[in-house]
C-alpha cells in the first residue's frame, strides 16, 4: 500500500511544471491580479480610476 502511495506522489510531482527558472535562483509564482497589484502598492480602486482618467485627459491613453 505504501508503495502505491509513493508512486502516486511521484507521478503528481512529475506532472507539475518546473517552477525553477534557468539560473536556478527564481521560482515562478502565480500571477497577481490587477486589484492585488494596486492594493499592494496602496492604490485604491478609486485612486486608480482617477489616475487613468487623468491620463485620458492628458491624451496619454490610446
Partner 1 sequence: MGGASQGGLAQRRVFLNVPYDAGYEQNFLALIAALISIGRIPRCAVEEPVLGRNRMARIFKLIRSCQVSIHDLCRVTLPPRFNIPFELGIAFTLWKLQGHKFIVLESKRYRMDVNLSDLKGVDPLVHANSPRKVVSCVLSELGSTGGAPDIEQVMEIFKHLRRVASKLKRSHKGSKVFYRPIFNALIAAATEQAVARGLINP
To partner 1, the closest distance from the beta carbon of 11 in angstroms equals 19
Q: In this chain, which of 5, 12, 27, 46 binds partner 1, going by CB under 8 A? A: 27
Q: Are 19 and 30 in contact (CB under 8 A)?
A: no
H helices of the chain, where? 2-15, 34-40, 45-57
Q: In this chain, which of 3, 12, 15, 17 binds partner 1, going by CB under 8 A? A: 17
C-alpha cell at 48: 486608480
Which positions touch partner 1 (CB under 8 A)?
Answer: 17-19, 21-23, 25-41, 43, 47-48, 51-52, 54-55, 58-62
Amino acid at each position: 500500500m505504501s508503495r502505491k502511495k509513493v508512486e502516486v506522489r511521484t507521478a503528481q510531482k512529475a506532472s507539475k511544471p518546473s517552477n525553477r527558472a534557468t539560473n536556478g535562483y527564481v521560482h515562478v509564482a502565480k500571477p497577481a491580479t490587477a486589484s492585488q497589484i494596486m492594493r499592494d502598492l496602496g492604490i485604491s480602486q478609486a485612486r486608480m480610476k482617477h489616475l487613468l482618467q487623468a491620463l485620458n485627459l492628458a491624451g496619454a491613453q490610446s
